[in-house]
Amino acid sequence: MKKDSSDHTSSHAVARELAYFFTRNGYVRAQNTKRLKEEGPGTYKKGAEVRLVARSEDELERMRDLLDRAGFKAGRPFRKGNQYCQPLYGKREVDRFLEMVVSASDG
């Protein structure tokens, strides 16, 4: 079944809003492959991660809704100082998120 233009518009709007949050103050935590190789996966468990930073609980709720609408499985949010961090875990999810952000920024 073919998607109508409103589906494309809404998914593009979701991507653009997530791109805004990411470029405003989000960041990527990359896995340290050297440390993983040295310590092994049993000891070094940190993987690829995107963190979106929300300034309020309402903004955090909006981010979580957008991630859900874009098909991402958001991690558990946490407070960091006066802000809220919304993580997105896993290399595939991180790569897909970054690809979406770049595409949204280009169009």
Q: Tens digits of per-residue pLDDT, 78-93?
A: 999 999 999 999 989 9
Q: Is the pLDDT of residue 6 over 60?
A: no
Query: Given a cut of 50, is residue 5 above it in pLDDT?
Result: no
- Are the C-beta atoms of residues 78 and 88 closer than 8 Å to each other? no
* pTM across the whole model: 0.81
* CATH (residue range 5-106): 3.10.28.10
Residue 96 pLDDT more than 80?
yes
Residues 6+ apart with CB under 8 A from 70: 11, 14, 15, 18, 100
Query: How confident is the prediction for the chain on average, in pLDDT?
Result: 87
Percent of the chain exceeding pLDDT 70 equals 89
Residue type, 94: V
